[in-house]
Amino acid sequence: MEREFSEQELVRREKLTKFNELGIDPFGQRFDRDSFAADIKEKYKDVANEEFEKMDDTATVAGRIMFIRKMGKASFFTIKDKTGPIQIYISINDVGEDTYTLFKSADIGDIVGIHGKIMKTKTGEVTIKCLEYTHLCKALKPLPEKFHGLTDKEERYRRRYVDLIMNDDAKRVAFLRPKIIRCIQNYMDNQGFTEVETPVLSTLLTGASARPFVTHHNAQDLDMYLRIALELHLKRLLVGGMEAVYEIGRVFRNEGMDLKHNPEFTLMEAYLAFSNLEGMMDLTEGMFTKIAEEVIGKTTYNWNGHEISLKGPWKRVSMTDAIKEKTGIDFKAIDSLDECLKLAEEHGIELEEHEKAYGHIINKFFEKYVEETLIQPTFLYGHPIEISPLTKKNPEDPRFVDRFELFIDGKEFANAYTELNDPIDQLERFEAQEAEKNLGNEEANDIDMDFVEALEYGMPPAGGIGYGIDRLVMFFTEQESIRDVILFPLMKPIDKD
C-alpha cells in the first residue's frame, strides 16, 4: 500500500538513517528508571532554591518530549510520563558535544530517558539537570498542535492513543476507571461476595430484554449468542451453595449507539442468598459512598448541568406513585385493560402489539412523564410483572414485582430484584416471553429449561442487582458521553474511497 507523507514526516524518517549511522537504535531498548515526574515535583516543591546547592539528589526518568526550547549550547525541554510533565535542562557542558548534538536532532513526540540532578530554576520550577541523555524511540508522526490537540471528538475516539498523549482529562479518566473498579471489587469482597467468571457464549437468549449479537461455532456448526446479561449463570451458583457471588464482565447488545449506550459494555451483577430488595438498596448506597470517599474524595458531583449529591438516605418511590405524582393517574386503582388503552391513546402514547398490556402501558407512562425528572439518586420500585420476567411477584399485589431501578439524572444506574426462585412461576414467565417473541418482540427471552431445572433443586430466597459500570464511571468522572470512559468505543469504519 502506497502512503503519502507530509514534509515533516519525511524529515523525521530521514533521521532514521542518521541514528543507524551513529549506532543508535531509533526505536530503543530497555531503560531502567527510578522516578516519576509527579513524585519528583511533589517531593521538592517546597524546597527553597538555595537548598538545592547543598543537595546532590538525582533521578532517572523517561517520557515523551512535549516541548523544546533550544538555546545554542543549552536548552530546556519538557518530557511527560504517565504521571505528568517535568522540565529538563540540558547543556553541552554537562553531556558533551556528541550527546548534545543527538539531543538537537530530537523532535516533539520522541521518547527519551534522562538521568540527572534535581534543581529549581529562578522561577521556582522543579527541573532535572540532564547528566545522561538516552534516545528511546523516534516518533515518525508529529503530534497535534499543543493548544488544539484533537478537537474533533470522532478523531479523539478513533485515535485514543493521541488523545491520551494530548488530553490530560482523557488520561485522568483512563486511570480513574480501573481504580473505581478495584474499589468496587474490594467493597464486594469485604461484604463477603466471591468474584466469579461465567460464559460469554450462549445458545439461549436470556437474562435481559435486548437484541443480541449472533456468532457461529465452527466445530459444532452451531449458532450462538454473545451474552446480553450475566444473570442466569450466577443464580445457578446460588443453587450450588456459593450464596454471595458477583461478576464484572463485558456484555453485548445489538442496539443503537448514543451518549449513554455502546454495543459492548461492562456490567456487574451480584446475587446474595437470603437477602431481598432492601438488602440490594443498602449494598448500592454503601458502594457508591465507598467510591466517592476512597477514589474521588467528594460526595457532590456536577453532571450534565445538575448538582447531584450522594448523601443519603436516597429517595425511594414506587413506579405507580411517581406516575400519579406527575399525571394524577393512579394505575394501582385501575384493573381494566380497556381503561389503560384509552389512557394511553389520550396521552399520545403509541403501543406495539406486544405492548398492549397493563404493565407495558404503565412503563410507557413512566418513560414519558417521570424518568427524566429523577435527578437526585432515587430507588424506583414496584415494576409491572410484564416487564420483569425474572423477578419475584409482590405478595400483596401480584400485578407487580419486587424490583427497583436506581436513577440518577434521569438515567438508570442499577436494576435490582428480589429474585424469583419458584421454578413453576419461572417457567410460566419464560412461556409468556416466548408468546411475546411470537408477537414480534425481538428482545424477549428464550426458555432456559436447564435454569428451570436448577431452580427445581432449590435456590434460596435472594436479592440480585446489576450495575452499568460504564455509566457509573461516567458519573464519578463527570463525563457526558460513554465514549469518554471506554478507551476504545465502537466506531463506524472510515470510508477509504
Predicted confidence (pLDDT) per residue in 152-161, tens digit: 788 889 999 9
CATH of 7-143, one of 3.30.70.1380, 3.30.990.10, 3.40.50.880, 2.40.50.140: 2.40.50.140
101-160 tens-digit pLDDT: 999 999 999 999 999 999 999 999 999 999 999 999 999 999 987 545 566 788 889 999
Task: Quote the CA–CA distance of 180 and 477 in Å, as a whole number.
Answer: 10
H or E stretch covering 63: strand 58-71
411-452 tens-digit pLDDT: 999 999 999 899 999 999 888 888 888 888 777 778 899 999
CA angle centred on 240, ends 238 and 242, rounded to 5°: 55
30-45 tens-digit pLDDT: 999 999 999 999 999 9
Count each helix (H run) and each strand (E run) in the chain, helices first: 15, 18
Minimum mean pLDDT among 125-129, 200-204, 236-240: which range? 200-204
- Determine the residue type at 157: Y
How confident is the model at residue 440, as a pLDDT? 80
98-102: average pLDDT: 94
Residue ranges of domains in the chain = 7-143, 166-314+376-484
Cell for 76? 530546556
How confident is the model at residue 497, as a pLDDT? 53
pLDDT at 87 over 70: yes
CB 124 within 8 A of CB 452: no
pTM for the structure as a whole: 0.90
Question: 448 φ, ψ to 5°?
Answer: -105, 90
Task: Quote the CA–CA distance of 296 and 78 in Å, as a whole number.
Answer: 29
How confident is the model at residue 149, as a pLDDT? 54
**Confidence category of residue 494, pLDDT binned at 50, 70, 90:** confident
Which CATH superfamily does the domain covering 166-314+376-484 fall into?
Answer: Bira Bifunctional Protein; Domain 2 (3.30.930.10)
Cell for 135? 534516545
DSSP secondary structure string, 228-285? S-SHHHHHHHHHTT--EEEEEEEEE-----BTTB-SEEEEEEEEEET--HHHHHHHHH
How confident is the model at residue 147, as a pLDDT? 47
**Confidence category of residue 262, pLDDT binned at 50, 70, 90:** very high
Q: What's the chain's average pLDDT? A: 93
**For residue 52, what is the DSSP state?**
G
